[in-house]
Amino acid sequence: MARNTQHEMLTSPSSRIRARQRFVLALKRNGEQLRRQLVESVDTRFSAPGNDAEGNFQQAVSKLYSEDAYRAVCLVKRAGQEMMWNTIGDAIDVELPRLKGLLEDAGKRDVGGSLNLRDDVSLPEEWTTARVHLQPGGYLRDDGDQDVVAGALYEEGGALYSRGQGVGTKESKAECIIRFLKGWKPDFQPRRILDIGCSAGASSVPYAIAFPEAEVHAIDIGKGLLRYAHARAQSIGVPVHFHEMNAEQIDFPDESFDLVVSHNAMHEMASFTQQAMFNESFRLLRRGGVCIHQDLPLKFAEMSPVRQADIMFDEWYNGELHWSDYAGTDCQAGLEAAGFDQANIDCKPFPLLDETMSWLLAAAEKTVSDEMS
Amino acid sequence: MSRIPPPISKHEDNGVSFFETPGVDMLYRTCLALAEELAITQDRLDTLERVLSQRGQIDLEEVDHFEPDAHAESQKHCLAARLSENVLAPIKALVEQYEVRDPEAERGRPHEK
């Protein structure tokens, strides 16, 4: 079930809004091409033999931002992102009563999923004001008991953003993990699956489809995201249990899952939160269970100073809180610190089915010896 | 890597001007807004032409020489006004910012020296 799966929680924008979305998508794609072209040129000159400036991040920042052309592509990227949220927000506004109605109906559908919200989850202070990817109201936006806007914005914005970035849409992140898992452990049949940082639930649903005998649970900290995710899964007709929980302290018993996954969650976490998620993955897994945490293959150590300076745009001007933290972390070391045996850890880029790009998959298996150590 | 400060500071509302003269940012944004409006119009026109030609109801010659009546003329004025307002929205924001700016901040501005 790929990202572009149709379901009732998606909006059907008017032709005028669709025209705006087509334009914004074209603007983002063209802007991104220009940006990559320019950065490559600057990188070539900056790193040319005999150029004393090579190797210095701050000098690369100064060089890039001294170019009017670079400032212009930055402006286009920022403005394109704002225009994207405006047009998606307009599409959602028109259909909000219908979306709220679907949430109300979700509990009445005989699907088997559930929604478990609570008010005692402690959240990092920064998340109350964070606007990741400039999403209006942020992930924690909550306009009342029936509010699903954060989830609607996340799913519709995410799809358009990814297409603007040129990320493939033929295989979802979850499908990619499932394909990796089936190659790694062909006979693996998890009975209980946990999706950490599930956002709008688009990545939780494919596990319930791929492993129909399994019980699928998914957690996040945003009420509006979880309400949307619940209504979405129920409307598709797939049972998933959504819970409001923090990845740092997950309220499930030890050894209660066979498969623990996350999708694009690591780069949105502070380093200590990511480590806590690895620790919780280890605690929650049964013997023979595996965790697979997927994210962008973003490693500062493998980039030129100009490329490093360029990708910092997302932390400085696109609301990413922990972009540089993530680009500097070592998942292999984090999983080892959590208790997984070095020999049972596999952290590597794994190509999408259409080979347009690779995801980083940080995978580990919990074995008998891990438990005894 | 610890938190690195941005090379261009953000405004209090978390916005950013990438050029030293904010007017340049505004000009770019005006062009983008204009392009968005043009794209919508182009798309609509394309849709209409396809629908009408499928029905055999369009005559391009007739379209080229169309004379609007008073009602159509008024609606066309409304369309033009809305496009103009959208295109000028960034400049309007600049003007509104000027209106609420502390007069003290005016001292030393180049054009007043």
Residue A216: pLDDT over 90? yes
3-state helix/strand/coil string of B55-101:
CCCCCHHHHHCCCCCHHHHHHHHHHHHHHHHHHHHHHHHHHHHHHHC
Residue in B closest to A321 by C-alpha = B3
User: How close does chain A come to B12, measured CA to CA in Å?
Assistant: 13
Task: State ipTM.
Answer: 0.72
Give the pTM: 0.87
Tell me whether residue B109 is in a domain: no
Check: CB of residue A86 under 8 Å from CB of residue A209.
Answer: no
* Cα–Cα distance, A119 to A140 (Å, whole number): 13
Is pLDDT of A139 > 50?
yes
Q: A163 pLDDT band (50/70/90 cuts)?
A: low
pLDDT(A362) > 90: yes
In a domain, B79, yes or no: yes
Q: What is the distance between the alpha carbons of residues A45 and A39, in angstroms, rounded to a whole number? A: 10
Closest-CA residue of B relative to A62 is: B7
Residue B51 lies in a domain: yes
In total, the C-beta contacts within 8 angstroms joining chain A to chain B are: 70
Q: Does B11 reside within a domain?
A: no
For the record, the structure tokens of A55 come out as 């190797």
Are the C-beta atoms of residues A183 and A351 closer than 8 Å to each other?
no
Which residues in chain B are closer than 8 Å to A25, comparing Cβ atoms?
Answer: none
Domain span holding position B72:
22-97
**Mean pLDDT for all residues in chain A:** 91
Contact B7 A62 (CB under 8 A): yes
Residue bearing tokens 């880029």:
A349
Reduced to 3 states, what is the DSSP secondary structure of residue A269?
A: coil
Q: Where are the alpha helices (DSSP H) in chain A?
A: 15-46, 57-65, 68-106, 126-129, 149-165, 173-184, 205-210, 223-236, 271-284, 305-311, 313-317, 323-328, 331-338, 368-372
Name the residue of chain A whose CA is nearest to B17's CA.
A75
How far B43 CA sits from the closest chain A CA (Å)? Answer: 6
Interface test with A, best of B2, B28, B32 (most A CBs within 10 A): B32
Contact status of B106 with chain A (Cβ, < 8 Å): no
Cβ contact A72–B18 (<8 Å): yes
pLDDT tens-digit series, residues B25-78: 988 998 999 889 899 998 999 899 889 988 988 887 777 778 889 998 888 888
CB contact under 8 A, B40 and A19: yes
Kindly report the number of other CB atoms within 10 A of residue A373's CB atom. 9
Within a domain: residue B106?
no
Please judge whether B28 and A65 are an interchain contact, meaning their C-beta atoms are less than 8 angstroms apart: no
At position B57, the amino acid (one-letter code) is: Q
pLDDT in tens, A299-358: 998 999 999 999 999 999 999 999 999 999 999 999 999 999 999 999 999 999 988 899
Cβ contacts of B29 on chain A, cutoff 8 Å: 75, 79
H or E, element range at B25: helix B22-54
For residue B83, tell me if it sits in a domain. yes
Task: Tell me which chain B residue has its CA closest to the CA of residue A73.
Answer: B18
The answer to whether residue B63 is domain-embedded is yes
Distance from CA of B91 to the nearest CA of A (A): 15
- Convert the pLDDT of each residue in A175-209 to its tens digit: 999 999 999 999 999 999 999 999 999 999 999 99
CB nearest to B16's CB, from A20, A22, A317: A317
Torsion of CA A82, A88, A90, A92, to 10 degrees: -140
**Does residue B5 fall inside a structural domain?**
no
* Residue A147 CB neighbours (<10 A): 20
Residue A293: phi and psi, rounded to 5, are -110, 120
For chain B, the domain total comes to 1
CA distance A79 to chain B (A): 7
Least confident of A140-149, A153-162, A203-212, B83-92: B83-92
Residues A266-289 have pLDDT tens digits of: 999 999 999 999 999 999 999 999
What φ, ψ does residue A193 adopt, rounded to 5°?
-125, 140
Specify the 3-state DSSP secondary structure of B7: coil
Question: CA-based diameter of chain A, in Å?
Answer: 70
- By C-alpha distance, the chain B residue nearest A315 is B6
A46, A312, B6, B24, B40 from B16: Cα distances, Å? 26, 15, 11, 12, 27
- Contact flag B4-A315 (C-beta cutoff 8 Å): yes
